[in-house]
A and B are shown apart, each in its own frame.
Chain A
């Protein structure tokens, strides 16, 4: 798993970003390798989401360097990032409630037969994608609005995976899900990484990080402050890294 350079998918060096006088990113370093799940943690306002928007092309960074497959790149818009095979699933999932599962998976790129949508092919391919990823829905004809939160999340991830990304960014995929649904999302993340995709996982659910991540990058006030393999951490140490306090003190602060 460790550090051969050809495995390196993404390298961020000294990324900065200012919104007027507010400096929300003040020098972030981050690396991601093929088949790796990287946990990105930090308190609210640490700059995790901004950093991921930079990497997904939704926001343009000020200083610093983005390298993808070793090549320096600069994204002007999300399409540029998508062309570099970087996919992102935002917290709002970007699904349409009144359109069925297959329609959502292929929204904007429907298989066609002349001027018409080739529904048969679309549903067959959708079923293939979902069963490959072990996503549990009862039918590709189900409307998205009738699915549970976990099913919606897995469909959104399946949609992102169907673009065959090298890098997949997941923003709080397990927030507000029932326990069984968290399991299915975590299993899906492991499956996706096993296919060689580098996954960046943003979450506040620290226990999830220990389930799926290989490595944790910690952000604090717009900077990356730590980069630690998961086997050198336990939950108390992790909390201490996030809050920048001593483990003992953190334990007191955090334990209910």
Chain B
């Protein structure tokens, strides 16, 4: 299929194919966010003695894990030009149903697999209606947001279902390795996987292309419906993982958990520099966005201000960052002239 097999030999072709500089390649919105996150961390380190202790950093890693796991998958969904509002409900569903299955005497290993299958299954439901029935993902997942949590509420009657501490499932929640919780390690693995898949594989390329110009990718012979189905299946699967971890850590499964979780996740993704309009995504940015949101909540608690300030500040930062991103080019130019002028 390829047109030429001979390696580029002439000077011009080598010149054409040369890698761009690090500055040219970097996502400017993500750089801004990295700066903001660093500044916020420095502020809290100065304002609170405990912020930079290992215990708190380890705690931060555990807190950020569920958001981060789902946010990495959401990066794919949003980059493909879709949205998934149902992730919070899937977490509630998986945690509640897993707890019920354990209570019914199922073995932990089977419940773990069931949790993943349930998450991916709901993702496929979202994906099928979006990609094959042609209903916008916003509408589909708005509907399943309601349905999925509704089923969880119906089966548990709204009660929290306790998980026996002796089960492997519950021990997963308290397991630690090198001072970090199992959640944190799993999140790290998910981030690395997300990075590789989005930026190194054909699937990642098609996710980006689908968000940028779906029709162009379709005409290139790519099955864009399958790409969309897979993206939404990934976010369902990630929500399944997060649901298991949340239930394991709390030692109970509740249909009321993770209310509004989808908004935190979407905020983390958008803060990182992924375009809500699709076609441009960054897993590193999502990592930074998720950390920033968690650090704000954690830091404000340590500093001892009213907990009700947290949503106000988080929302304000989100709005400010979107404003900055929309003017990203101007700011990039300003930064460049600043660097050049030095």
A residues near B (Cβ < 8 Å) are: 78-79, 92-99, 102-103, 106-112, 115-117, 119, 123-132, 137-142, 161-164
- A selection of 25 A-B contacts at a CB cut-off of 8 Å is A94-B219, A94-B220, A95-B213, A96-B208, A96-B279, A97-B212, A98-B280, A99-B208, A99-B212, A107-B209, A108-B221, A109-B1, A109-B221, A110-B205, A112-B202, A115-B201, A117-B202, A117-B205, A125-B3, A125-B4, A127-B14, A139-B17, A141-B24, A142-B20, A162-B2
Once the chains bind, are A107 and B222 in contact (CB under 8 Å)?
yes
Once the chains bind, are A127 and B220 in contact (CB under 8 Å)?
no
Once the chains bind, are B18 and A98 in contact (CB under 8 Å)?
no
A254 to B93, CA, bound (A): 71
User: Counting chain B CB atoms within 10 Å of each CB, which of A94, A108, A162 scores highest?
Assistant: A108
B residues near A (Cβ < 8 Å) are: 1-8, 10, 12-20, 24-25, 196, 200-202, 205, 208-209, 211-213, 215-217, 219-222, 279-280
A119 to B219, CA, bound (A): 22
Residues on B with beta carbons closer than 8 Å to the beta carbon of A128: 3-4, 6, 8, 13
CB nearest to A101 among chain B residues: B16
Known: A98-B280, A103-B205, A131-B12. A140 touches B212 (CB 8 A): no
Once the chains bind, are A126 and B17 in contact (CB under 8 Å)?
yes
Q: Assuming A117-B202, A126-B17, A139-B20, what are 11 further A-B pairs, CB within 8 angstroms?
A: A94-B215, A107-B220, A117-B200, A125-B2, A127-B12, A128-B6, A128-B8, A139-B18, A141-B20, A141-B24, A142-B20
A123 to B4, CA, bound (A): 12
Known: A117-B200, A128-B13, A139-B20. A96 touches B209 (CB 8 A): yes
Once the chains bind, are A96 and B213 in contact (CB under 8 Å)?
yes
Known: A127-B13, A128-B13. A99 touches B221 (CB 8 A): no
- Specify which of A99, A124, A127, A131 is in contact with B205 (CB 8 Å cutoff): A99
Once the chains bind, are B202 and A127 in contact (CB under 8 Å)?
no
A163 to B4, CA, bound (A): 10
What's the least CB distance linking A29 to chain B, in Å?
29
**Top 9 A-B pairs ranked by shortest CB distance?**
A108-B220, A127-B16, A127-B17, A162-B3, A127-B13, A98-B279, A123-B17, A94-B216, A107-B220
- Specify which of A92, A108, A162 is in contact with B222 (CB 8 Å cutoff): A108
A108 to B222, CA, bound (A): 6
A115 to B201, CA, bound (A): 6
Residues on B with beta carbons closer than 8 Å to the beta carbon of A123: 17
A132 to B5, CA, bound (A): 13
Residues on A with beta carbons closer than 8 Å to the beta carbon of B211: 98
Residues on B with beta carbons closer than 8 Å to the beta carbon of A164: 3
- Specify which of A92, A93, A111 is in contact with B2 (CB 8 Å cutoff): A111
A38 to B50, CA, bound (A): 77
A92 to B12, CA, bound (A): 29
A101 to B301, CA, bound (A): 48
CB nearest to A79 among chain B residues: B221
What's the least CB distance linking A53 to chain B, in Å?
13
A132 to B12, CA, bound (A): 10
A162 to B220, CA, bound (A): 13
What's the least CB distance linking B90 to chain A, in Å?
27
- Specify which of A98, A111, A127 is in contact with B8 (CB 8 Å cutoff): A127
Residues on A with beta carbons closer than 8 Å to the beta carbon of B15: 127
Known: A124-B13, A141-B25. A117 touches B3 (CB 8 A): no
CB nearest to A136 among chain B residues: B16
A109 to B205, CA, bound (A): 11
What's the least CB distance linking A160 to chain B, in Å?
11
Once the chains bind, are B202 and A98 in contact (CB under 8 Å)?
no
What's the least CB distance linking A226 to chain B, in Å?
33
Residues on A with beta carbons closer than 8 Å to the beta carbon of B220: 94, 107-109
Known: A94-B216, A96-B208, A98-B279. A137 touches B16 (CB 8 A): yes
Once the chains bind, are A107 and B216 in contact (CB under 8 Å)?
yes
A211 to B306, CA, bound (A): 74
User: Counting chain B CB atoms within 10 Å of each CB, which of A96, A99, A110, A129 scores highest?
Assistant: A96
CB nearest to B277 among chain A residues: A98
A93 to B220, CA, bound (A): 11
- Specify which of B3, B10, B201, B219 is in contact with A116 (CB 8 Å cutoff): B201
Once the chains bind, are B216 and A95 in contact (CB under 8 Å)?
yes
Once the chains bind, are A131 and B10 in contact (CB under 8 Å)?
yes
Residues on A with beta carbons closer than 8 Å to the beta carbon of B215: 92, 94
User: Counting chain B CB atoms within 10 Å of each CB, which of A97, A99, A137, A139 scores highest?
Assistant: A99
CB nearest to B222 among chain A residues: A108
What's the least CB distance linking B342 to chain A, in Å?
25
Known: A94-B219, A98-B280, A99-B205. A109 touches B213 (CB 8 A): no
What's the least CB distance linking A119 to chain B, in Å?
8
Residues on A with beta carbons closer than 8 Å to the beta carbon of B13: 124, 127-128, 130-131
